[in-house]
Structure 1
Amino acid sequence: MKKFLSLMAVCAIIFSANCSRVEQNNDPIVGIWFQSEAEIISVSSKSTLRKEWIFNDVYLGRYHEINGNNITLQTDFKWSKEDDVYTIEYRGLENVPTDRFKIVKTAEGTILEKIDGDYLAIRE
């Protein structure tokens, strides 16, 4: 009888472990997106500001602003999707507004376009 109960306990553990799997998120937003701007400081030098969004599959991500070779801003964000509209809420940055955008396919590639029509980022 003890062997039967032990076998049942092992089966219950295996069954409960198999039922608790996290579904994989295959959303097209998952990945790295960037925006790059060149700023001319003087005739002989220029600086490049790169903004980078890294979206992961558990509705979180990381945002970087890189000026030249230096990271000038780094924060986490939470993202969500309702219909075709994505929303980013930046954590720890009170002065940065929430971004709302859609994924748009163009001849140049797949881009993130804000709801007002402005360009946000392109897939890396």
Structure 2
Amino acid sequence: MKKLLSLMAICAIIFTANCSRIEQNNDPIIGIWSQAKTEVTSTTAKTTIRKEWIFNDVYLGRYHEITGNEITLQTDFAWSKEGDTYTIEYRGLENTPHQTFKIVTSDENILLKQIDGDDIAIRE
């Protein structure tokens, strides 16, 4: 009986020693960011193209392109942060270069802005 109790005590110590606390990521990029534009396809028809980035707290995310009501492109991405600069690496899109940008706050919106100055998306 003493051997069983000793074994259980050792197991309990090992299991509690291996538990670690998961860090909470409260980065301001976490959430949904989008860009929408309307293209004229003919004299009577217009199409809305929406791009959407969903950033999560484990440095991953999902990118969608939606034309009208149909998802035309969907892929996962990894994101990283160095200082105040963010980088997206798209997975599954080999010919797509990494995007590098910063979060910029204006009077009306919070924007993702590429390093060269072009706006990428606004926070929803």
Amino acid at match of 2:15: I
Runs of 4+ in 1 over 2 A off after TM superposition: 1-9, 14-17
Report what 1:96 is aligned to.
96
Report what 2:81 is aligned to.
81
Gaps of 5+ in 2: none
Deviation (angstroms), 1:108: 1.7
Deviation (angstroms), 1:51: 0.3
Deviation (angstroms), 1:45: 1.6
Report what 2:28 is aligned to.
28
User: Is 1:71 aligned with 2:56?
Assistant: no
TM-score, normalising length: structure 2? 0.90
Deviation (angstroms), 1:4: 4.4
Amino acid at match of 1:32: I
Secondary structure of the residue aligned to 1:28 is: coil
Secondary structure of the residue aligned to 1:102 is: strand
In 1, distance between residues paired with 2:93 and 2:14? 46
In 2, distance between residues paired with 1:8 and 1:86? 45
Amino acid at match of 2:81: K
Deviation (angstroms), 1:5: 4.4
In 1, distance between residues paired with 2:98 and 2:13? 47
Report what 1:10 is aligned to.
12
Q: How many residues align?
A: 122
TM-score, normalising length: structure 1? 0.90
In 1, distance between residues paired with 2:80 and 2:98? 11
Residues 28-72 of structure 1, C-alpha deviation per residue, up to 9 Å, x if partnerless?
111110000011122322100000001111111111100001111
Secondary structure of the residue aligned to 1:9 is: helix
In 2, distance between residues paired with 1:14 and 1:55? 32
In 2, distance between residues paired with 1:89 and 1:81? 12
The sequence identity of aligned pairs, in percent, is 61
Report what 2:54 is aligned to.
54
Deviation (angstroms), 1:22: 2.0
Amino acid at match of 1:12: I
